[in-house]
Structure 1
Amino acid sequence: MNDSETHLNEPRLLSLETEFRLLAKLKQAIVDRAQREGEVCANYDEQIAMLQRDYEEELELITRQYHEQRAALENEYDLVRREAETQYQADSSATQAEYDRVLATIQSQYEEDVAAAQRKHDESLWLLDSYFDETADDSPKHQYEVFRFQATKAKEHFQADWEALQQEMEQVRDLMRRRRQWRSFPSPQTSQPPADQAEAQQRFDEAVAAARQTMQKLRRQKLPRLFAGWVPFVIFLVGAGGLGTATAFLLEPAWLQVPVEKPSPEWFGVCGGAAVVVTLLFELILLAVARSRSGRVYATLLQHMADAHSSVRFWQSEAKRELQRLKIESEHWDAEVQRRLKEGREKIERRLQEELAQYAEAKEAALREANQRFPALLEQIAERRDRTIREAEETYPRRIAQLERQYESDRQQLELRHRARLSNHESGFGREWNELATRWQDAVREAATTADAMNEVCRRFFPDWSTLAESWQPPTELPPGIRIGQFEVDLARLENGLPPDERLRPERTQFSLPAILPFPDNASLLLKATGAGKDVAVATLQAAMLRFLTSIPPGRIRFTIIDPVGLGENFSAFMHLADYDELLISNRIWTESSHIEKRLADLTEHMENIFQTYLRNEFKTI
């Protein structure tokens, strides 16, 4: 490590973290070296034994494989010859069976084709008859029969509804006669004729429904009910009697200028006659009103009846004309169907004869092809068997000889590989040992070099006391840490620190490390001691204070000494600093609890002033 690197890395080099990391790496290197040393030595003999086992196993394997492969080749040679003969027997039998099957298939195919042609012929005739079927939905004859059936049903429907309506109409007329509402009514006007049969049927149904609704309305009339049977006479008698009695008792003869006395038979006769006349006039007026209302409803009913009747007549006329038209079309269609049926049957018969001729020709061609192909196949099967046996006799003896040569070659190659593996293992052991030694020596050398670099930095910042006493100069820069002592690192005192093999012994087995107090950050030192250790602790604190005093530039340090136990005796020598500057020692050594609390409060206030007045989270240090 050169001087420039030392100056650049002084803050990082002179730290507890560096020392901890150095010692940790050294301990890990010791652990790795001890583990690896045992592994390398232990594995050497194991590898030799394993190589010998591998050699013997591989030799046994290739020998076993050789005998297995030779036996397999000999068995395969015999199997090929036997399979060739077996295959010949199977192929020839299968070919002959296939030959017979093909002949049978040709015959059966011919019979199936003939049967299929006959079925097709029958189906064609059936389709032809079905196409021109008189009962088909779209045939004119079927349409004629359907329309005639529908017309008959519709006629029955019209007739039933019309007869029922006539009966209901007769009941209405009888009701009006009983209610004394009947009179002569003019015939209603005829409505616009329907456009077609469907509209005529719809109008008929609507007229019937409307007529029934009108009849129901006529039946529900209240005023005409008053003139049915004896009801008007009862009303007349009750009304005349009541009116006459009221008149006789409530009126005076003088009011009417009638020269009769009250009460007297003449007065009662006058009142009774007047009541009869008034009641009769009132009933006649009610009868006229009732007949007017009934007449309007009955006229509407007559119009609905006329509409229904005209719709029926129109429908009957149109149905008769449509039925005649469909009958003519049916007769023409029937003649055309008979002609086309005859032509279709002749065409189907010709096609059947043509297909039968084609199937017979195809049968003869298939028989010729089979008689040419299968005898040739039987000859090829025999030739293939002979060729397979010749190839086996030419191949397998040569392969067995080649297998013997390959076995000898593999055995020799295995011997060479075994020797090469032994040689490589010896070389590998040497490389592993050298790598182990190199890593171990490098780790120890790195630790010693780092320790020397740290000591070099300490010698520059912290000369020994004799040098300071002779030629101390005030420092001009802050040190990266404060050296308060040193400790020795001895590999012999560490577990497995010195390897048992002399070849792994490093050049340096001891080196020293400075005891560093972090500075300026985290510069805290706590010593705990009892008994004789207290004097050593006090001496250590005195040395640390002296290092602070001699290593930090003037004006950058101030001591606040608290010694309640020793009453200031432990640090009384530092009171000479007050002869030069009282601020260096804060006037005195504090021993009283109140003074100590006051100094701690002053120190806290000073730190608050620094943080809040000068730094303000803008500067790291003053």
Structure 2
Amino acid sequence: MKRHKTREVVLNTPFSAEQYSNILDSLNGAIGNRVEAERQLAAFQVDDLDEDLDPNEVQERLNQLNTTEQAELTAAEEDHNQQVGDIETRFQSATSAIENTAFRQKSEAEEHYQQQTADVEDQYDENRWIMTSLVDESADNNPKKQLETFRTQIERRQERLSADCEELKSLSDQAVEMVQNRRHWREEPFSLPRGPGANREEMETRFDEAAQEAREQFKKLQSQFLSRMLSGTGLIWVGLLLWLPAFGVLAGLVHPEALGLNNLSGTAWLVTSAGVTFALTAFIIMILWFTAARKTWEAFQPFRIHVSDAFQNQKQWRKVAKNELARMEESCEQRHQAMVKHRENSLKRFTSERDEKLQSFIQERRTTLSRIEQTRATQLQAIQETHDHERATAERTHQNRIAQIQSSYETEREQLIGELERQQKEKARQIHECQTRLQSDWNSAITQFQEMSEYLTGESQNRFPSWQEILDETWKPATQVPDGIPLGNYVLNLDHLPNGLPEDPAYLPETTAFSLPTVLPFPHSPSFVLKTGEGGRTEADAIQQAALLRLMSGLPPATVRLTICDPVSLGEPFSAFMHLADYDELLITNRIWTESAHIDEQLAKLTEHLENVFQKYLRNEFETIEEYNQKAGEVAEPY
């Protein structure tokens, strides 16, 4: 489906917003130009106050020039003397600075030599102390001190392992005794899950792990309640506790007849009950005993394995530690002899290096002092040459300045009177020109704005009839669609505009208030918005009523359809328009819509109507509804 393309239609009307914007822009531009011209005129007049001199003032200026000339000559002489003094001061300061610098550099060179010598001696003493301390048996890095430290560590660890082994042996004896007392002992071989560690540290670690595991298994063995309960005489007491209730229940509560044993007497039934419950109790005791024995062995067997593993690692650790200690003793003796030899060689090398450095420092000091002295002599000669050149230059500059001052003031005295006269004439011409241009431009702009106001007012009166003309019996309805809807007139006061009125009454126009007709463009973009406070609502309603009446009276009959929405005043300001329905129900909807749901519904109907117009009437044949209505004739669409 081909969509209808709309385009903006430019109306041949003088009441467009663009036209009004151009008129007001021109007026604001003229006001800005006038303000700028007034500012320039005021600036000219202020400057004129400073330069409008009489003959007495000119003579006073000449006297001032003479006085100023003499003052400048005196100042030039003083400046020259000051400059010469500065040259001499700089020369003396530079000479002193060179001497001080040379003295300071020599002192620094001597201090540097002393510091280097002291540093070398300190380094030599430090190196000797370091090499001596290497063979000191109390030093941490001494082989003998390291050997003693290693031996002490081995002894302490051996003492700890031995103490742990004694603890494990005691726990092992207690565990064996515990298992034998429970009558759960059995001769069953076992093997270790792993061999000893690969080195001393790993052996010690495995020993600690095995010892900790053995302690935990021993605690588990101690905490077995059933095994402890069935050990010793506890077996008999448990049997009695199980047999007596069973015998009492069977002998006292169960009758032989219920079991089909009618021939048993009371004594025989008691003996039979005792035998049956005893056998049952013995069977239960046997099950409990075997269960306790299995639990005991499950805790005791890992305990024995961990204890044996710990003993194995402790034994192997002692052997490895003994071998390492022997190797350490041999290695330490060799290292000690090598360090003694290294110390002797290093001390000889330190002495040789110290002597070489001290000799190089002496040579360096001599070279530095010679260079400083040469630099001092060169700098003193240079500043002497600079001093002589500055004195000669100062004398030439002073003589030239004296001649220039005298020449410039003589010329200025000759030009003063003529220059002042020329400036006064030029200033008078500029003020007159500025006043003339300001008056002409401002009057021209006001005249053009007034003519445009009168032209627009006349056009509005010619195009749109007044209310008196409409109320006249001879008035006839329009036959063509108008190009605007008149609402009234704007009143523009210059005194309401920023800088609208000139400060000088000479430029004040005869008319300061102008009228501009208020016309909505029609039929394109006739929308308008009124913004007002609570106090202006009545005037806003009156303007809307006037707009509706102008719309009804300005268009051909039966070409307007009204849909009025008033959610604020509930339709009261527009109730008079409901009389239109008495003449033609199509002129206005059956009510004024005040509720949001009804307003939304009416907007939806208007939207649907616009869709029908675009799709059914305009299609791709007409650009606007006006073109369609011109061709449609009597079936034209209303507005």
TM-score strictly above 0.5? yes
Equivalent in the alignment of 2:418: 416
Give the Cα separation in 2 of the matches to 1:140 and 1:129: 14
8 Å CA contact 1:143–1:326 kept in 2: the answer is no
In structure 2, relative to structure 1, the CA distance for the partners of 1:376 and 1:224 (3 Å cut) is closer
8 Å CA contact 2:51–2:420 kept in 1: the answer is no
Alignment of 1:221-260 (within 5 A): 221-234=224-237
CA positional deviation for 1:428: 4.1
Per-residue CA distance 1:118-145 (angstroms, 9 max, x = gap): 2232344456567888888888767655
Two-structure CA RMSD over aligned residues (Å): 5.8
TM-score normalised by structure 1 residue count? 0.58
Equivalent in the alignment of 2:75: 72
Amino acid at match of 1:524: S
Equivalent in the alignment of 1:331: 333
Give the Cα separation in 1 of the matches to 2:222 and 2:194: 29
CA positional deviation for 1:163: 0.9
Give the Cα separation in 1 of the matches to 2:384 and 2:627: 108
Deviates more, 1:208-217 or 1:94-103: 94-103
Give the Cα separation in 1 of the matches to 2:50 and 2:399: 40
**For 1:609, what is the secondary structure of its paired residue?**
coil
1:196 aligns with 2:138: no
Equivalent in the alignment of 1:172: 175
CA positional deviation for 1:102: 3.4
CA positional deviation for 1:353: 0.9
How many residues of Structure 1 are paired with residues of Structure 2 in the alignment? Answer: 468
CA positional deviation for 1:388: 3.9
Equivalent in the alignment of 1:47: 48
In structure 2, relative to structure 1, the CA distance for the partners of 1:56 and 1:435 (3 Å cut) is farther
8 Å CA contact 1:517–1:523 kept in 2: the answer is no
Give the Cα separation in 2 of the matches to 1:173 and 1:353: 80
Amino acid at match of 2:176: R
Per-residue CA distance 1:568-589 (angstroms, 9 max, x = gap): xxxxxxxxxxxxxxxxxxxxxx
597, 602, 609: which one aligns with 2:558: 609
CA positional deviation for 1:115: 0.9
CA positional deviation for 1:46: 8.5
**For 1:205, what is the secondary structure of its paired residue?**
helix
Equivalent in the alignment of 1:343: 345
8 Å CA contact 2:256–2:264 kept in 1: the answer is no
8 Å CA contact 2:154–2:321 kept in 1: the answer is yes
347, 361, 364: which one aligns with 1:362: 364
Give the Cα separation in 2 of the matches to 1:618 and 1:256: 126
CA positional deviation for 1:313: 1.9
8 Å CA contact 1:110–1:360 kept in 2: the answer is yes
Amino acid at match of 2:164: D
Give the Cα separation in 2 of the matches to 1:261 and 1:446: 153
Amino acid at match of 1:215: F
Equivalent in the alignment of 1:121: 124
Per-residue CA distance 1:519-555 (angstroms, 9 max, x = gap): 652232759xxxxxxxxxxxxx99xx9xx99xxxxxx
Give the Cα separation in 2 of the matches to 1:175 and 1:162: 20
8 Å CA contact 1:179–1:226 kept in 2: the answer is no
Give the Cα separation in 1 of the matches to 2:133 and 2:375: 47
TM-score normalised by structure 2 residue count? 0.56
Equivalent in the alignment of 1:521: 463
Give the Cα separation in 2 of the matches to 1:270 and 1:88: 145
CA positional deviation for 1:360: 0.9
1:398 aligns with 2:403: no
Using the aligned pairs only, state the percent identity: 21
8 Å CA contact 1:188–1:306 kept in 2: the answer is no
Per-residue CA distance 1:268-305 (angstroms, 9 max, x = gap): 89998998898778767765664454344333322221
Give the Cα separation in 2 of the matches to 1:161 and 1:45: 114
Alignment of 1:509-588 (within 5 A): 518=460, 521-524=463-466
Give the Cα separation in 2 of the matches to 1:85 and 1:373: 22
In structure 2, relative to structure 1, the CA distance for the partners of 1:46 and 1:157 (3 Å cut) is closer
Equivalent in the alignment of 2:541: none
**For 1:607, what is the secondary structure of its paired residue?**
coil
161, 164, 170: which one aligns with 1:158: 161
Per-residue CA distance 1:162-207 (angstroms, 9 max, x = gap): 11111122222333344444x4634532443133333322322222
Give the Cα separation in 2 of the matches to 1:605 and 1:442: 37
In structure 2, relative to structure 1, the CA distance for the partners of 1:71 and 1:225 (3 Å cut) is same
8 Å CA contact 1:140–1:326 kept in 2: the answer is no
8 Å CA contact 1:133–1:139 kept in 2: the answer is yes
Equivalent in the alignment of 1:595: none
Amino acid at match of 2:364: A
Deviates more, 1:128-137 or 1:189-198: 128-137
Equivalent in the alignment of 2:86: 83
CA positional deviation for 1:159: 1.3
Amino acid at match of 2:372: A
Give the Cα separation in 2 of the matches to 1:335 and 1:203: 38
Alignment gaps of 5+ in structure 2: 1-11, 477-548, 562-586, 588-623, 634-639
Equivalent in the alignment of 2:113: 110
Give the Cα separation in 2 of the matches to 1:446 and 1:516: 15
Larger Rg: 1
Give the Cα separation in 1 of the matches to 2:74 and 2:557: 100
Amino acid at match of 1:356: L
In structure 2, relative to structure 1, the CA distance for the partners of 1:310 and 1:403 (3 Å cut) is same
In structure 2, relative to structure 1, the CA distance for the partners of 1:279 and 1:445 (3 Å cut) is closer
Amino acid at match of 2:226: L
CA positional deviation for 1:229: 4.7
Alignment of 1:98-497 (within 5 A): 98-125=101-128, 144-145=147-148, 147-181=150-184, 183=185, 185-193=187-195, 194-234=197-237, 263=267, 290-291=292-293, 293-375=295-377, 377-378=379-380, 381=383, 384-425=386-427, 427-428=429-430, 431=433
**For 1:424, what is the secondary structure of its paired residue?**
helix
Give the Cα separation in 1 of the matches to 2:137 and 2:380: 62
Equivalent in the alignment of 1:572: none
8 Å CA contact 2:44–2:427 kept in 1: the answer is no
Give the Cα separation in 2 of the matches to 1:433 and 1:256: 154
**For 1:608, what is the secondary structure of its paired residue?**
coil
Amino acid at match of 1:328: E
CA positional deviation for 1:430: 6.3
Give the Cα separation in 2 of the matches to 1:100 and 1:617: 108
